[in-house]
Structure 1
């Protein structure tokens, strides 16, 4: 080692190389030739990226993805304000296009940061394979809540906040976590001490959940919110009313005053286009329709119209197509924009092929909450409305205004003339009465504010891929149909319902409560909580205040007949909690911090109770598809099988249908296998959901019982209801014998229970073709389940369901039928599944159970009243089991 060197050593023919100076000079030169872009991430950290001036957006995105080491990167993107725009309007906030030059997109706006955000909100967090990807989604949703972009009820906000606490702090510890241990965390907008107390109580229930588990549960609850993943765009409908349009994985969603009033699923939309400031969607024609429908909306300007159109193109391509490659017509006019990234299908397939990357990362804590000051959060990037989380409010004078109702006359059903069209257990008859978002007449094109009819050549046209008739679903969500309800007062002069809303012109009038056994409860169709009243005896009340509504009802009551005709939009949920508390207290008032059945189960019951009270449970049910869009029903439409269907629009999926082996009349029967697996157990409840047999299909029915080795038949209808045949009497009377080609049925017992609600029968089934081998068959019939309705009480229904469970003695499928085999049949299957989940201490999410059933047989649980009833029954069973355990 040379300790010292004289200066002379560097004299003469020597040389030097200044490394540091040259490195700095090269860096300065790169900066002059390139761009430095600041990206702000979801954990509020910034990072500067250097790119060439001519680089495309994909170059910057790749650097960002590599910086984060993201594998499931296609769900994310970069947003930037256009031309330094500080507006909250969605057209001012753009997504960086990977295929275009960054310099051209940002212009002089390069000095402002770009925001790394979730662009495509996954429909289910279980699709995200990597923990780190789910963590980024968790950060995004947490940010949406704090910046008041995500609308959610206060109870749900508190539940989500409890998962945030579990992720960041870990298990609750009474010694470490004092009464104010949450006061320094910014968890909810307008956070109060009362909210913190409720969050702490729920935090106690999350014991032993890792940060990854808590974040997954956080996302699993967030995905159920109406505003989950919705980017809103301001628009006007054909009446010039201000609305907002949102694009999601489901399709196009329509909001008014932060109230979701309609959804058009991708499976229903045929074409998306825009011209100038007008935005159009063309809906698919249903088999029962002979016309297509074109709906138009007026956007604020051309830029906002094109922005919405591009968002639709991207979301449809990402969520619905296997590949983004789209063949464009030669010399096609209009915008040539296409989505250039990978689709969700490609992303999921690629991750499965590569495997999950296990790595450690540091989580970002919540910001410190500064009491009595507004939380310091970055300005929101788009207008998503104001969150309805608010502190408790004082009572209001109009809360005491009550409008009551009852119906002594039941209007004739529109379908009573045709016995082939389904009823309560049959198909879903779509009423196409005139409305802002539903087709009124054949070929009708909606009018627009400026009355300009779209020309064949528009600025942008996007055709959705074609579907076969057998694959085209009725609708993934409920169209906004109107219903007319006629009521007459009871002996006390009451109709039997309460209303809320109407505090100002823009607030809709909603039904807040329907009293049991009143005209509003008994009439057909039934008036339901959450229905929006549009007209009273022909008077438009969409812009009326509550006193005017009360006056109109009193005026109707004062007439000789008392006739009250209501035009309503069914099952509308107004989510602003400013108006009225739920009429019933479903959530127990006792300490929820002490679980009695199991923490996850108790949490799910908390959500179930909240959803019943607020109406959100029914609103989410209404958005669920009725027929699976990817499953066919081709066998049912064959000429030889059409007459074997009781209802022309209720058909079994080909994939899960029961195939007869040795039936004299062919292999077809209108029946599906429905298997319900109970997690964490070895139990799989097997069912065959089928229609009530016709006279011509009785032999097929018994052949199915014979071949499937079933020993229990559950019948949820009577033979005749309201003068109409619901099911053929396919069994022999007591002591009688029914002889068929392949089987003989003997009835050895028939007994009605003391309550006259059920009939129990014992049959002996003899296999003629197999040495007269015989076995016993139990037959349980529910005779007190009214047509177009639900049982009188959950307790009565629970007793019957428990009896079904007791009579399930083998692992062979239980045959369940009503009239069409979907409505009442689905209710029973859901209830028994929920009871099994309860015994296994597993959480119960009724909507997920409905989805599972509808993946095996279409339309299971036909209407909202049936769904509400079974949810109330589940909660009643849980409450009963909890009280018995104490």
Structure 2
């Protein structure tokens, strides 16, 4: 029976379905219909990915990120070009970012060229990156930008960054292993020379003990301060048909001319961005004193370049400023581009990574290429570099297979241990208080969707307010100079302030040029065509040469001009060399009036207005963005005396040096005339008052006698100390004074301590010394005021105690006209905070506006790096605002000119 059924079943119609064979055939067919895409990575490796023909860009991006095992992937993207351009030709319109929401086939077409994995959003601070591997990818990108000359930087900075590359790849400098030409085969900087290699080698020796992750972190920490860091330049023309270049960063839109940044429009200042054909527009937020909006127009080379720049602005603003991308409502009949950024923002990326925690992982670092020592073009070098063998390097425990630092933050440059201080040397500036976190973001950089107006910064491309009334005229005289004729307004003011000039009190100090320090909006100086600009040098006033005049003399000449010849003021100026004074021409698209209902009432006086702007800047985070754009050291001032062999050991920190032009020169010291100290003179606008300071480092044991010799020679009577002797186990200052009732004897001086008292809060210590001049048998009383409550890390929790201490300093100034000596450890951080605070209090009393950034710039023109980091700057700005709003200091008589 069974046999019969089996035969019947098998003898009839039957069928077989070969599942496995058909699966293989379908796979082969899909593979033939799919796309093979080759991607070039930052370490010069490449990989081919297979994607389906109808797949979107997100499919390829996911494979790329998975291939690299990237966690913080949203900072990166993939670029392609239909014409085979390389991402090194500084023509962004030739390169396009792969859009994750669009079909790969539609974007790439029949493109046979490889794609390039690159950093798309350059992080403003490497401490925001939680993963060591992410920082490594950023490091590779910035190195490539330097070698491809996309990132322009001075030779000294290029050598410093290259020294960190050497430390990362070769480890600590070893005299027996690293001979005189050990860098000659490494491709480190463009135009590499023997002199540059020697400089790099000397810097390499200073990085002893830094692991690769440490060196790469410091590399990025210095690179972030370069003007062109992370900027792709888009060629454009202004309304005068001059060539300029526009770039987009995390801060906003930046304007370059001849590779020099001449202006920055922060996101908080921009209201709207648009483009029409070849024209690109930005609409600026009105200031408190304005009743109009300003539109600036730029002419791009092509429609494609205009749209590329617009898309970059949309993406960067969304990524860096918003909590999450805006969801666009779709209107079927809407006109214009429908592009918007749909990826994750920086805030979302940081939040997710912090919740997940850092990963312990290992990865292989890619060494530098060999340098071909022959005359070849950069493009040839780029092509050949891919086939060159890589140099060998000594084996280290952490070489190639590197364990991530986990929760440990990379060690900063020049640092001896993991604890940093606000006053430490070695570029220890921190943008944030500790590693970045969303909870701290609001204190430094806002991610809010809408922001209040930013403080007035008088930026280069700010459009001068329109006036139907008579505007002063200007005409060019000899080449490079201009004559400007001003008449006072109804209040008798011209609307500008000056700084600089010779100093009667310090004859040996170098004369500073008379410069325009501020131009008030909607005043005669503001309505000039071209506009009188911050940084312009005044050479003549009403025919009088003022190139070597004292500051007080210049102020007096300007004041006297109001009462003679109908108040006519004729200025011969030399426009600022960097700004050239030509960018103030009105753009073709200037004003878009809005309804009177939107007008912002202007404050009754300039001081109140400046306080409103200060409050807005603190709240929006724009205050910090502007501060970080300011130079740390004046590019035209030298510090040659500090690095001479006989003086180098007199510096507490090797990178904190006094300018030669304003340094204190000892006259009768057995150890020479050098001391790490600068004269800092702060003129109180609208008055004849100049507050004199000597900003200096905390004395070393070997420089204590020089310190007291300076006190003797400068006839100082007050010393302000803003640090303790030891903080976190590190020496911050030598104890340069004797104990109570004891004496300290030197060759020319004897110091005796006769009183020591601590205030009720335990925050301050006040000491009285008697200084005896041995040679002249003269005694002098010295007041010593020490602030001991300043935290060893960071800034005070509230301005209260600090304002109280500053008031004590102001009271002490009334007792003597001699310079007040102020020091912390390096003499730049807390020292700068105190000087700015006292200057602001004096300005408030004089009913003058307070612009903290201008004060920082004035200080840095006399001593480098004053107010060392963003935390200190934010704290002192909050203290200034508190002093005004709480009426700790009140306006007195109006001294305004």
Instruction: Name the TM tier (shorter chain).
Output: 0.5 to 0.7
Aligned position for 1:472: 453
The reply on whether 1:798 has 2:845 as its aligned counterpart is: no
Alignment partner for residue 656 of structure 2, among 605, 627, 639?
A: 605
Aligned to 1:285: 286
Partner SS, residue 230 of structure 1: coil
Q: Aligned equivalents of 1:257 and 1:335: distance in 2? A: 32
Match of 2:339 among 337, 340, 351: 337
Does residue 1:35 correspond to 2:31, yes or no?
A: no
In structure 2, the CA distance between the partners of 1:95 and 1:777, relative to structure 1 (3 Å rule), is closer
Aligned to 2:512: 521
From 808, 813, 817, the counterpart of 1:779: 808
3-state SS of paired residue (1:349): helix
Is there any run of 5+ residues in structure 2 with no aligned partner, and where?
A: 1-17, 384-446, 465-478, 483-499, 520-524, 548-556, 558-568, 582-628, 664-685, 687-721, 733-757, 787-803, 832-836, 885-897
For 1:175, the equivalent position in structure 2 comes to 176
Which residue is 1:136 aligned to?
137
1:717 aligns with: none
Whether contact under 8 Å (2:540, 2:546) holds in the other structure is: no
2-structure distance, mates of 1:347, 1:357: 15
Task: Select which of 728, 738, 757 maps to 1:681.
Answer: 728
Deviations 1:391-442 (A, max 9, x none): xxxxxxxxxxxxxxxxxxxxxxxxxxxxxxxxxxxxxxxxxxxxxxxxxxxx
Matched residues in 2 for 1:861 and 1:188: separation? 49
Residue pairs, 1:358-397, within 5 angstroms: 358-374=360-376
**2:296 is aligned with 1:295:** yes
Counterpart of 2:749? none
Corresponding residue for 2:81? 81
CA–CA separation in structure 2 for the residues paired with 1:45 and 1:478 = 43
Equivalent position of 1:105 in the other structure: 107
State the 1:780 CA deviation: 3.0
Taking the aligned partners of 1:477 and 1:847, their CA distance within structure 2 comes to 23
Superposed displacement of residue 856, structure 1: 3.8
**CA-CA distance at 1:108 after TM superposition:** 1.5
1:846 to 845, 868, 892: 868
Q: Secondary structure at the match of 2:157?
A: helix
Distance 1:757 1:572 in 2: 49
Q: Which residue of 2 aligns with 1:91?
A: 93
1:515 Cα deviation after fit: 7.3
CA 861–100 in structure 1, closer or farther in 2 if over 3 Å, else same: farther
Q: Cα gap change, 1:798/1:31 in structure 2, threshold over 3 Å: closer, same or farther? A: farther
Instruction: Provide Cα deviations, 1:722-746, integer angstroms capped at 9, x if missing partner.
Output: xxxxxxxxxxxxxxxxxxxxxxxxx
- From 628, 638, 655, the equivalent of 1:584 is 638
Question: 2:90 and 2:806 mapped to 1: Cα distance?
Answer: 66
Given the superposition, is the C-alpha separation of residues 286 and 585 from structure 1 closer, same or farther in structure 2, using an over 3 Å criterion?
same
C-alpha change, 1:244 and 1:283, in structure 2 (3 Å) is: same
Shift of 1:679: 12
Structure-1 residue corresponding to 2:841: 818
3-state DSSP of counterpart to 1:53: coil
Task: Give the total of aligned pairs.
Answer: 568
Question: Which of 565, 569, 574 is residue 572 of structure 2 equivalent to?
Answer: 565
Name the CA shift for 1:77/1:551 in 2 (closer, same or farther; >3 Å). same
Which residue is 2:49 aligned to? Answer: 49
**Residue of structure 1 equivalent to 2:437:** none
* CA distance in 1 between partners of 2:345 and 2:780 (Å): 57
Are the equivalent residues in 2 in contact too, given 1:83–1:107 (CA < 8 A)? no
Shift of 1:815: 9.8
Deviations 1:30-71 (A, max 9, x none): 442101000000000010000011111100000000000000
- Asked if the contact 2:460–2:579 (Cα under 8 Å) also holds between the matched residues in 1, the reply is no
User: How far off is 1:525 after superposition?
Assistant: 3.6
Contact 2:323 2:448 in 1 (8 A): no
After superposition, the C-alpha distances for 1:706-761 in whole angstroms (9 at most, x for unaligned) are 998876899xxxxxxxxxxxxxxxxxxxxxxxxxxxxxxxxx99x9x999999999
Contact between 1:205 and 1:595, CA under 8 Å: does it hold in 2? no
With over 3 angstroms needed to count, the CA separation of the structure-2 counterparts of 1:366 and 1:321, relative to structure 1, is: same
Q: Distance in 1 between matches of 2:144 and 2:164?
A: 14
Distance 2:278 2:779 in 1: 65
Q: CA deviation at 1:781?
A: 3.0
Hey, what's the Cα distance between the residues in 2 that align with 1:85 and 1:815?
56
Report the alpha carbon displacement of residue 358 of structure 1 after superposing the two structures with TM.
Answer: 1.2
Q: Aligned in 2, Cα 1:259/1:315: closer, same or farther, shift over 3 Å?
A: same
1:827-842 aligned within 5 A: none
Return closer, same or farther for 1:99/1:178 CA change in 2, 3 Å cut-off.
Answer: same
What's 1:741 paired with?
none
Q: Cα 1:160–1:573, aligned 2, differ >3 Å: closer, same or farther?
A: farther
Q: Is the 8 A contact 1:758 1:781 kept in 2?
A: no
Please report how far the alpha carbon of residue 327 of structure 1 lies from its aligned counterpart in structure 2 after TM superposition: 3.7
**Could you say what secondary structure the match of 1:779 adopts?**
helix
Distance in 1 (alpha carbons) for counterparts of 2:299 and 2:200: 43
Structure 1 spans left out of the alignment, 5+ residues: 1-17, 382-463, 484-498, 503-512, 529-533, 543-548, 614-645, 647-674, 686-704, 715-747, 763-774, 786-790, 809-813, 833-837, 863-886
C-alpha displacement of 1:371: 0.7
**8 Å contact from structure 1 (residues 201, 593) kept in 2:** no
Contact kept in structure 2, 1:265 and 1:477, CA below 8 Å: no
Aligned CA distance change for structure 1 residues 356 and 776 (closer, same or farther; 3 Å): closer
Structure 2: how far apart are the matches of 1:47 and 1:313? 31
**Alignment check: 8 A CA contact 1:313 1:338 kept:** yes
- Structure 1: how far apart are the matches of 2:330 and 2:136? 42
Q: Taking structure 1 as the reference length, what is the TM-score of the superposition?
A: 0.53
Q: Distance in 1 between matches of 2:223 and 2:661?
A: 14
Q: Report the Cα distance in structure 2 between the residues aligned to 1:610 and 1:590, rounded to whole angstroms.
A: 12
Asked if 1 retains the 8 angstrom alpha-carbon contact of 2:90 and 2:233, the reply is no
Q: How many Å apart are 1:373 and its aligned residue?
A: 3.3
Q: CA RMSD in A?
A: 6.1
8 Å contact from structure 2 (residues 323, 449) kept in 1: no
Query: Distance in 1 between the 2:364 and 2:55 partners?
Result: 31
Question: Kindly tell me: are residues 207 and 583 of structure 1, through their superposed partners in 2, closer, same or farther at Cα, counting changes over 3 Å?
Answer: closer
Q: Deviations over 1:247-304 (max 9, x none)?
A: 0000000011111111000001011111111111111112222111111111111111
Partner of residue 249, structure 1: 250
Counterpart secondary structure, 1:108: coil
For the Cα contact (< 8 Å) 1:260–1:573, is it kept in 2? no
**8 Å CA contact 2:160, 2:203 repeated in 1:** yes
- Given the two structures, how large is their TM-score scaled by the length of structure 2? 0.53
Distance in structure 1 (CA, Å) of the matches to 2:95 and 2:317: 20
Distance (whole Å) between structure 2 residues aligned to residue 851 and residue 278 of structure 1: 38
**Cα distance, 1:776 vs structure 2:** 13
Contact 1:247 1:311 survives alignment (8 Å)? yes
Question: 1-side partners of 2:96 and 2:540: how far apart?
Answer: 48
In structure 1, the residue matched to 2:61 is 61
In 1, Cα distance between equivalents of 2:147 and 2:97:
22
